[in-house]
Amino acid sequence: TAPLIHEHTVFVVCNVSLSEAKRLNGLCRARSPAVCFIYVWSGGVFGSAFCDFGPSFTVYDDNGEQPTSSIVTNVQRNASNGNVVVTCLYDQAQNARVDFQDGDYVIFSEVQGVPELNGTHPRKICGVTPRSFVIEDTDGLPHDIRFLRGGIVTQSKVAKQVAFKSLDEAITDPGTFLESDFSKFGRSLILHTGLQALDAFHAKHGDFPSLNNSSHQDAVFALAQSLKPPDVELGENEALIIREMARCSTAVLNPLAAIFGGFAAQEAVKACTGKFMPLMQWFHFDALECLPDKPRPPPT
């Protein structure tokens, strides 16, 4: 019920239908701030995970690493475009290089000749190379920069606001999937379609497909054909994958359950602490290579 869910920070649901997960996700989003919602499903050698931490979730540290720093060797304003470019010590042998990324925030100290940089608010940077970067936020800096020497620039951990889609929205508009195996690139969209087909089968028949039931497999594949995005073709290989999802959707394998149980626990820690970037928002997995080429005949 809503009151029970709203008493908690994180709500995790496992192996329920997508329809029921949508209902529970709606209850989580009804509170302000939203209750962080995590959905995991595993069936046979397949599994899926989804996260929705609400329309505005704060990530305080997106990677958990210690802030990096560099020694400043020059600060100058580019005459052609007005950009303020900071050059840092570069020594490949000593592994001295700029270790920032575009969009990072940095703070300066001990810069002589440009006191306006020292001890001010974190400044956003862009155009990062191993030797230099551009200060995107030049508020308060003089037009005529006269750098003398020295200085340290240090990465600053700045909280980020992350917006999540609801489960209902993310089913039809999943965005970019987290890939587990780049040799299967593009597989996630097929598994996403298969998961929707399984849910449609559950909605129609009140349960998931029976193990090794070929008519149920045919029905799930037909539903997948009707639910797939217009630009996705379900050929022979895709049909095999979706039929296998249907064939073993009610089977529970301990290794897969352990993987997705751990995955859910990891995302729950992120939700509680705001440390590390959460899953954005879907992850689909399969271990089809673990199955025999030809299914074994049923026991007599």
Residue 69 CB partners (closer than 8 Å, separation 6+): 152, 153, 154, 155
* pLDDT digits 0-9 by tens, 143-162: 899 999 989 999 999 899 99
The pLDDT of residue 64: 86
Q: Provide the residue count of the chain.
A: 300
**Whole-Å CA distances, 224 to 22, 175, 203, 221, 255:** 19, 19, 14, 5, 27
d(CA 179, CA 82): 40
Asked whether 75 and 84 are in contact (CB, 8 A), the reply is yes
Asked whether 105 and 86 are in contact (CB, 8 A), the reply is no
Residue 289 DSSP label: G
Asked whether 72 and 153 are in contact (CB, 8 A), the reply is yes
d(CA 83, CA 77): 5
270 bridge partner residues: none
The pLDDT of residue 96: 78
pLDDT in tens, the chain (300 residues): 789 999 999 999 999 999 999 999 999 999 999 999 999 999 999 999 999 999 999 999 988 889 999 999 999 998 888 899 999 998 877 777 888 999 999 999 999 999 999 989 999 999 999 999 999 988 889 989 999 998 999 999 989 999 999 999 999 999 999 998 888 888 999 999 999 999 999 999 999 999 889 999 999 999 999 999 888 889 999 999 999 999 999 999 999 999 999 999 999 999 999 999 999 999 999 999 988 876 666 666
The pLDDT of residue 178: 94
The pLDDT of residue 295: 62
The pLDDT of residue 297: 63
The pLDDT of residue 75: 95
The pLDDT of residue 241: 94
The pLDDT of residue 82: 86
The pLDDT of residue 200: 95
Asked whether 198 and 246 are in contact (CB, 8 A), the reply is yes
pTM of the model: 0.83
d(CA 103, CA 215): 52
Asked whether 87 and 134 are in contact (CB, 8 A), the reply is no
The pLDDT of residue 180: 86
The pLDDT of residue 299: 60
Best CA proximity match to 113, nearest among 80, 87, 144, 137: 144
Structure tokens at 197: 């087909």
The pLDDT of residue 1: 79
